[in-house]
Amino acid sequence: MTINETAALIRADRQRNANNYKSQLITFLFRVANFFYFSKNSSKTMWIVGLPYLALYRIVVEWFLCVELPFGCKIGPGLIIDHGHALVVNKNTIIGSNCRLRNSTTIGCKVTDIGSQLPSPVIGNNVDVGSNVAIIGEIVIGNNVTIGAGAVVVKNLPDNCVAAGNPAKVIRNIP
């Protein structure tokens, strides 16, 4: 990832979070940490320079702002974090463009009986995740999906739908 690509992601996030300063701060810190983290593949020097920042990121974002958004996540532009508190995202999760995550949401993987982790969810573009949602396991959430508050998603969701409940079920298709 280049500096220009990172700057474009920061601009897209900032634009989508115009009046949400906490979300702007979290997404900015995430994008910079994400840049340093993925620079290890191309520049060992940049990786080493970024190590103190990565440690600071974890302290500020996870401990003080109470958002576990690992710097190794792959997240498209335009991320919105509403009411950024108690948000937990697994480091292997992939999130598309223009997604909205709300408070008390967990996006994670299943752990086997022997302690190994199965793959994390893949979330499409334009997904709106309500508060207190759990998205768990090796599942795919389609594009243009709305997930209602309190839902527990353990199975794939198709494109263009609204899902709610425990376990989450499609309650309406969006034309």
Residue-wise DSSP of 80-145: EETT-SSEEE-TT-EE-SS-EE-TT-EEE--B-TTSPBPPPPEE-SS-EEPTT-EEESS-EE-SSE
Does pLDDT of 163 surpass 80?
yes
Cα–Cα–Cα angle for 47, 51, 57, nearest 5°? 125
C-alpha 45/C-alpha 59 separation (Å) is 23
pLDDT at residue 117 in the model: 79
C-alpha 138/C-alpha 119 separation (Å) is 5
Residues 6 or more apart in contact with residue 6 via CB below 8 angstroms:
31, 32, 34, 35
Mean pLDDT of 66-73: 95
Does pLDDT of 46 surpass 90?
no
3-state secondary structure of 156: coil
Does pLDDT of 115 surpass 80?
no
Q: Which domains does the chain have, with CATH numbers?
A: 1-69 (no CATH), 82-175 (2.160.10.10)
pLDDT at residue 44 in the model: 82
Mean pLDDT of 101-130: 91
C-alpha 91/C-alpha 72 separation (Å) is 6
Model confidence at 26, in pLDDT bands (50, 70, 90)? Answer: very high
Question: In this structure, are residues 82 and 23 in contact, taking their beta carbons and an 8 Å threshold?
Answer: yes
Model confidence at 50, in pLDDT bands (50, 70, 90)? Answer: very high
Question: In this structure, are residues 57 and 33 in contact, taking their beta carbons and an 8 Å threshold?
Answer: yes
Can you say how many angstroms the Cα of residue 65 is from the centroid of all Cα atoms in its chain? 15
C-alpha 36/C-alpha 30 separation (Å) is 10
pLDDT at residue 37 in the model: 93
pLDDT at residue 146 in the model: 98
Model confidence at 86, in pLDDT bands (50, 70, 90)? Answer: very high
